[in-house]
Amino acid sequence: MISSEDKIFKVSGFGSLNKETTTNALHKEDRQYIRLVSFDYMGSAKFGGEYLDEVMEEMKAGMPIGYSISKQTNNWSYDKAKRQYGLLLVLIVGIFFICSILFENFKQPLYIIFIIPISFIGLFLIFSLFDFYFDQGGYAAFVMLGGLAVNAAIFIVNDLNNRTKGNYNRNVLKAVGGKATPILLTILSTCFGLIPFVMEGQGEIFWFSLAIGTIGGLVFSMVGVFLALPVFLWKRNG
């Protein structure tokens, strides 16, 4: 029976329900029969994967000879990771050519690009020290850091090139010191803007990994900007 507010209808008046027995769907591949089993897990991908691995280990222990079990997921794959690294390479090449045209120099763009791997150290450290789960958000943080970490170095090098008077090495220190405040404010404001994603926790695994990786990389990029970059730009006879 189907009821509404003021009327009652019979199912037989609209259609019929029949219970039937059907054969199970079996897939065959390479002379092997394949049974696909799936389940929905609402929660962190990390804990879901750990639970699935435990269940598979228990099933493997009790399976007869000739049977096997394997995991098939739609998670982040190595091919996608390679595409992210390809994007990072394109980004680095683009930064090099743009800075070469802007500064009319081939060495200074290299100094700027060296800041990128230094910022990656902070990304690796924050995931390693705090045992955070690294997934596609972490790969996206690589690409984001490739663009954000070099901004401070570009400001410093551009300010140095505009200082044509006085001792060169002293101008390096003046350029770094003069841009220190806006660089620190920019990095801090970017990190604070990503905090809401961090507060969501690892339940929002992509955004959490993206935010925590970017914050760690930006904080560590200050080591490259304020320590490594002046060393790169320093001249012995400056």
pLDDT tens column, 205-237: 778 888 999 999 999 999 999 999 999 998 876
83-95 mean pLDDT: 79
Residue 211 structural domain: 78-233
In this structure, the chain runs to a length of 238
Indicate whether 34 and 136 sit together in one domain: no
pTM, entire model? 0.61
Does 149 reside within a domain?
yes
Does 160 reside within a domain?
yes
Does 3 reside within a domain?
no
- Residue 29 pLDDT exceeds 60: yes
Does 7 reside within a domain?
no
- The residue out of 48, 75, 102 marking a domain boundary is 75
Terminus-to-terminus CA distance in the chain, angstroms?
Answer: 93
Indicate whether 183 and 140 sit together in one domain: yes
Neighbour-count burial of 173, counting CB atoms closer than 10 A to its CB (0-12 exposed, 13-18 middle, 19+ buried): middle
- The residue out of 30, 59, 75 marking a domain boundary is 75
Indicate whether 42 and 87 sit together in one domain: no
One-letter identity of residue 21:
T
Check residues 8 and 109 and name the one with the higher pLDDT: 109
Indicate whether 110 and 45 sit together in one domain: no
Indicate whether 83 and 146 sit together in one domain: yes
Indicate whether 98 and 202 sit together in one domain: yes
pLDDT attached to residue 23: 56
CA distance readout (Å), 123 to 52, 87, 102, 110, 194: 28, 18, 29, 21, 14
Indicate whether 94 and 32 sit together in one domain: no
- The residue out of 60, 75, 90 marking a domain boundary is 75
| 219 SS3 class | helix
pLDDT attached to residue 215: 93
Does 187 reside within a domain?
yes
- Residue 75 pLDDT exceeds 90: no
Does 135 reside within a domain?
yes
Indicate whether 62 and 83 sit together in one domain: no
Q: What angle do CA 227, 228, 234 make, to 5 degrees?
A: 95
pLDDT attached to residue 5: 57
Tokens of 80: 């996608």
Indicate whether 183 and 226 sit together in one domain: yes
Does 14 reside within a domain?
no
Indicate whether 119 and 66 sit together in one domain: no
Indicate whether 175 and 202 sit together in one domain: yes
Alpha carbon distance 67, 52 (integer Å): 18
Indicate whether 151 and 195 sit together in one domain: yes
pLDDT attached to residue 121: 92
Domain tally for the chain? 2
Question: Is residue 221 a contact partner of residue 118, using CB atoms and an 8 Å limit?
Answer: yes
Alpha carbon distance 1, 76 (integer Å): 47
pLDDT attached to residue 196: 86
The CATH number assigned to the domain holding 215 equals 1.20.1640.10
Alpha carbon distance 209, 138 (integer Å): 5
Does 13 reside within a domain?
no
